[in-house]
Amino acid sequence: MIGATRLLSDLTKLVKQTRADEVSATAQARTRRVFRFAYEAVHQDLHQESLTVMVKVTLGRRIGVATTETLEPAALRRCAEAARTIAEHAREQALIAPAPWKHRLRVREDYLKATAQYTAADMAGHILRLMQYCQGLGVALAGSAMTGEDELAVVNSQQVTCYCASTVAGTKLVTMHGAASGYASAVSRDATYLDWDGALRRALEQALQPGEPAALPVGTYEVILEPEAVADLLLWLSYTAFGAKNLQEGSSCLAGRLGQRIFSPDITLADDGQDPGVLRMPFDFEGTPKQRVALIDRGIAQGVVYDTLYGARMKHASTGHGLPATETEGPFPLHLVMSPGALPLAELIRGCARGLLIPRFHYVNGLLNPREALMTGLTREGTRLIEEGKLTAPVKTLRFTQSLLEAFSSVRRLSRERRLIADPAQELGCALVPAMHLDTFRFTGQSP
Amino acid sequence: MPATSTLPRDVATLALRLLQRHGVDYADVRIERFLHEELVAEGGAIATINHTESLGLGIRVLVHGSWGFASTPHLTARLVGRAVTQAIDLAKAARLINRQPRPLAPVVPARAHHVSRCAQDPFAVPLAAKIDLLLAANQALLGPDAIKRATTHLDFFRRHKLFCSTEGAEIEQTLTESGAGLEVVAEGEGRSQVRSFPNSHHGALAQAGFEYVESLGLVPGATQARQEVLQLLQAPPPKAGETTLVLDPTQMVMQLHESCGHPTELDRALGHELSYAGGSFMTPDQLNTLQYGSSRVNIVADATIADGAGSFAFDDEGVPAQRVDLVRQGRFVGYLSSRETAARLHLPASGGAMRADGWSVPPLVRMTNVNLLPGTGTREELCRGIEHGYLLSTNKSWSIDDQRLNFQFTTEIGWEIINGRLGRMVANPLYTGITPAFWGRCTAVGRPEDWQLWGVPNCAKGEPMQVMHVGHGSSYARFDGVMVAPAQ
């Protein structure tokens, strides 16, 4: 961990030294310790340290951005000089977004020493324990486990000084038993509270489902999507629908539909980077504090998220969803929160006459026809058939091709339980979501 | 910033000395300096110009059959020493679990120096010249109100790396890549369409200099893309049903990538990606027996091809670049492999496909340039005899199951083929299939003159995710009995 003092002091010095109309410096430091394992062996482990410092310089209506991966003073000066040189050569912009103005934030409440001090041997010990338990059941185990530390600091010439630090731990488990398999994940800020056993229990329950995997005909089925599967779809909607750029381009499924009912009244969805239930982030990469943004309220399309640029273009304040200055995809939500239902998941299953229980999807792609939120993807480990309210057999891989406008209008119930879904070894973004029972979901293909 | 500079060999020497002192079975040290210059224009103006510089070191150790890897951007003696300790600690922790030895296929330790071909150094081209080209192409995309987004980008990469191992390898390579592309989005009557040039997935990318970007014809390409995206707003969808497809090389890129490249990664076939990307139906017991495609299908992984985004002289464990047969006359005959995975299959040597996307991560088995070798026939000859079918171009969406069997693609654009001739444009075409059945119905592959090599800069794999630059080459190819539908 580099620490607030060092990061803020180096960035402040850099901003002061750089001659420009506006300067903004963002530093993102990250440590990841990852174990990957399969079939009773660890095949990869790593300790990764990375640091990215990004300097954005504004000269009149010209902007330049440069990035370096060190805090060495000479390299930082070179980086700022490169950003200045780029700004000098760049053409004038029609619109310069105003930088966030005058605030200070220092947030460390999500930094837990227990996670930072978690050793490689601690992690290997957990993996070994789970492997041995699976061996006793005749189940093969594969997966990954990680711990990490994150720091984000933003300083700009408009007197913004922000810093936050956090830790995270996670595991993903795949269980294999004959032709059946299971999957579950867990994530926590505190490695000592990571629910290894709960995740393994869920993954084992799927893999140990009696019966040969059923090859179901393609067609429309009732489905109960567990939280990972719900998040797989919603995270794609974040990218294709819930950002100001998607809305402005007309490619979002919310374009022309704001204020209209697009989903079932059971669905209320927000982006809330300050919610303690998510991997919260108090401010964005521009230094704007995160705001809660209502995306869907009881099925009605409410709004999208903004950064300073799209806020200025669309006459809306930034909602604190700016990405690093090198990103040109526009703002999108990173902390989705869906309101829960009233019944436990077990009750949802009991209420399903014939359908599928789907723990997660594989390789979802939402670019087929974003305007209609048309997506494709596949089931993977752990999908099971429900008959008369009971789980009766594993199900072979099925492909869906489905508009979410249609699917999310057919909500029967949401579960009372919600789970935080994130893949912190991979990317930003998380979702706190319940399971969803949908009346119709269209499957268009099967794997052999 | 300097476009080229020397790498700190003394740091690599120090790290190796420390590792040898710890008595590791094997270790390698990779120091990399990375440069990336990115220019993006949107709506006729510059959206961003960004220059990225990175320097760091990655250490990989093998201790009693267990790997450990640690990386650091801090190249001081103290922090390099800390990274050495971290790598060894990880390997020792993994020893709590690992019971089997981990032999490596042999390699002759090389001492070599390689610089990729680059006629015009893109980092030496004045920024103003790059901006002029970028804006000219971007402004050619602008037009009526229906155009909602017009994006153009230029990208230049340089990787300068030093690889040293305890076996005595010392290899320095400098790889320069240049790329460019554009994308235009139009909206009308509740429909939205996208068109890219010269390809989707970030355009074109090659191991070459600025001359490559200049050769792409971005300005005329922009005019064509703008016209086509507006036509797509009015174009009908394809008819649903089984039909014959001719895929052009821009779509063959993703067909090869998803249904041949990934399933022939040997680490994946051995289960190393089960928790993330999935497995492979091309398991070791299928090697040399599985009929993957028709006799017209010949696919190679070629890291030696000039200009390929997946080319190099040595991979990231010091194995020389090779051309490896993956599919020969339709039969599955080879894998993309590493020293460790090759040894697991008792292969005589690694296929030289271990690549890391930077100093901070260990290498994984990755694609190099996975290419379908050309056959004979022009595009017109491939279309001849097709009563009703489609020519599809430029990948739009992609999805395949975790064993790499059930795939579904949409393309940006297509044209009907009626009685062997191209007819009207179709919008939102989607096709789907099962990998060996689809390749088994490959009834023709086009001639060498139409063979194109495309760079793909966004191949994701691993935990943490590594984004690799790979290449795919193909001519036109024809497939019978493919299920087509409108994506709507």
CATH superfamily, with its number, for domain B9-232: PmbA/TldD superfamily (3.30.2290.10)
Predicted pLDDT of residue A101: 85
B267 neighbourhood in chain A, CB within 8 Å? 43
B128 touches A: beta carbon within 8 Å: yes
Q: Which residues pair with A305 in a beta bridge?
A: A243
What digits encode the pLDDT tens for the residues B232-275?
A: 999 999 999 999 999 999 999 999 999 999 999 999 999 999 98
Q: Where are the domains of chain B?
A: 9-232, 241-486
Both A136 and A265 in one domain: the answer is no
The two three-digit tokens of residue A195, written as one number: 């629910």
**Residue contact A121–B49, C-beta within 8 A:** no
- Residue among B40, B98, B131 whose CB faces A91 most closely: B131
Residues A176 and A34 in one domain: yes
Residues of A in contact with B401 (CB under 8 A): 362-363, 378, 380, 397, 399, 447
Number of domains in chain A: 2
| A–B interface: beta-carbon pairs under 8 A | 272
- Is the pLDDT assigned to residue B284 strictly greater than 80? yes
pLDDT at A378 over 90: yes
Q: Tens digit of pLDDT for each residue in A133-180?
A: 999 999 999 999 999 999 999 999 999 999 999 999 999 999 999 999
Domain presence at residue A48: yes
Cβ atoms within 10 A of the Cβ of A329, count?
11
A93: confidence class by pLDDT, cuts 50, 70, 90:
confident
Give the mean pLDDT of A44-50: 94
Assess if residue A213 is contained within a domain: no
Say what the pLDDT of residue A425 is: 79
Facing A426 at nearest CB: one of B399, B400, B464: B464
Mean pLDDT of the region A311-326: 94
**Angle, alpha carbons A439-A442-A448 (nearest 5°):** 130
Residue A263 lies in a domain: yes
Question: Looking at the structure, do residues A163 and A62 belong to the same domain, yes or no?
Answer: yes
For residue A86, give the CATH number of its domain. 3.30.2290.10
Domain range for A323 is 219-446
Residues A178 and A312 reside in one and the same domain: no
Reported ipTM: 0.93
What average pLDDT does the segment A416-427 reach? Answer: 90
Q: Which of A174, A207, A240 is the last residue of a domain?
A: A207
Instruction: Tell me whether residues A46 and B89 touch, CB distance under 8 A.
Output: no
Q: Cβ separation of A48 and B399 shorter than 8 Å?
A: no
User: Most B CBs within 10 Å: which of A30, A50, A58, A381, as the mutation test of the B interface?
Assistant: A50
What average pLDDT score do residues A74-92 get?
Answer: 90
Please enumerate in sequence order all residues whose Cβ is within 8 A of that of A170, keeping only pairs 6 or more positions apart, or say none.
A145, A146, A185, A186, A187, A188, A194, A422, A423, A424, A425
Last residue of a domain, one of A150, A174, A207: A207
Residues A133 and A28 both lie in one domain: yes
- In this structure, the answer to whether residues A35 and A109 fall within a common structural domain is yes
Residue that terminates a domain, selected from A161, A183, A207? A207
State pLDDT tens for residues B149-185. 999 999 999 999 999 999 999 999 999 999 999 999 9
Kindly identify which residue of chain A lies nearest to residue B42, measuring between CA atoms.
Answer: A328
In the prediction, which pLDDT does B432 show?
98
B400 at interface of A, judged by CB pairs closer than 8 A: yes
Residue B235 DSSP one-character state: P
**Residue A198 belongs to some domain of the structure:** yes
Contact: B71, A448; criterion CB under 8 Å: no
Q: What is the mean pLDDT of chain B?
A: 96
pLDDT category, A92, cuts 50, 70, 90? confident
Looking at the predicted structure, is the pLDDT value of residue A382 above 50?
yes
pLDDT reported for residue B1: 39
Asked if B240 reaches chain A (Cβ–Cβ under 8 Å), the answer is: no
* Per-residue confidence (pLDDT) for residue B311, from 0 to 100: 98
What per-residue confidence (pLDDT) applies to A424?
86
Same domain, A129 and A197: yes
For residue A255, list chain B residues with Cβ-Cβ distance below 8 A: 187
User: What are the chain A neighbours of B54 within 8 Å (beta carbons)?
Assistant: 68-69
pLDDT one-digit tens code per residue, B403-418: 999 999 999 999 999 9
Residues A231 and A178 reside in one and the same domain:
no
- Residues A329, A394, single domain; the answer is yes
Whether A424 and A396 share a structural domain: yes
Q: Are A243 and A166 members of one domain?
A: no
Q: Do B487 and A35 touch (CB under 8 A)?
A: no
| pLDDT-above-70 percentage for chain A | 100
Query: What pTM was estimated for this model as a whole?
Result: 0.95
- Of the candidates B47, B99, B192, which has its C-beta nearest A370's C-beta? B192
Contacts of A38 in chain B (CB under 8 A): 270-272, 274-275
Contact residues on chain A for B92, CB-CB shorter than 8 A: 120-121
Q: Output the 3-class SS for chain A.
A: CCCHHHHHHHHHHHHHHCCCCEEEEEEEEEEEEEEEEECCEEEEEEEEEEEEEEEEEEECCEEEEEEECCCCHHHHHHHHHHHHHHHHHCCCCCCCCCCCCCEEEEEEEECCHHHHCCCHHHHHHHHHHHHHHHHHHCCEEEEEEEEEEEEEEEEECCCEEEEEEEEEEEEEEEEEECCEEEEEEEEECCHHHCCHHHHHHHHHHHHCCCCCCECCCCEEEEEEECHHHHHHHHHHHHHHCCEHHHHHHCCCCCCCCCCCECCCCCCCEEECCCCCCCCCCCECCCCCECCCEEEEECCEECCCECCHHHHHHCCCCCCCCCCCCCCCCCCCCCEEEECCCCECHHHHHHCCCEEEEECCEEEEEEEEEHHHCEEEEEECCCCEEEECCEEEEEECCEEEEEEHHHHCCCEEEEEEEEEEEECCCCCCCEEEEEEEEEEEEEEEEECC
Q: How confident is the model at residue B2 (pLDDT cuts 50, 70, 90)?
A: very low
List of chain A residues whose C-beta atoms are within 8 Å of the C-beta of residue B278: 362, 380
Going by pLDDT thresholds of 50, 70 and 90, the confidence category of residue A319 is: very high
- Distance, in Å, from the CA atom of B323 to the CA atom of A63, rounded to the nearest integer, reads 45
Q: Which helix (H) or strand (E) holds B256?
A: helix B249-256
B429-484 pLDDT, tens digit each: 999 999 999 999 999 999 999 999 999 999 999 999 999 999 999 999 999 999 99
Residue A9 has pLDDT above 60, yes or no: yes
pLDDT at B5: 61
Q: At B354, phi and psi to the nearest 5?
A: -85, 120
- A172 and A257, same domain (yes or no): no
Which residues from B are below 8 Å from A64, CB to CB? 49
pLDDT tens digits, one per residue of A246-275: 999 899 999 999 999 999 999 999 999 999
Please indicate, yes or no, if residue A321 is contained in any of the structural domains. Answer: yes
Reported as a pLDDT band with limits 50, 70 and 90, residue A97 is confident
CA B278 – CA B28 distance, rounded (Å): 28
> A230-249 pLDDT, tens per residue?
999 999 999 999 999 999 98
Q: Residue A48, Cα to own-chain centre: how many angstroms?
A: 20
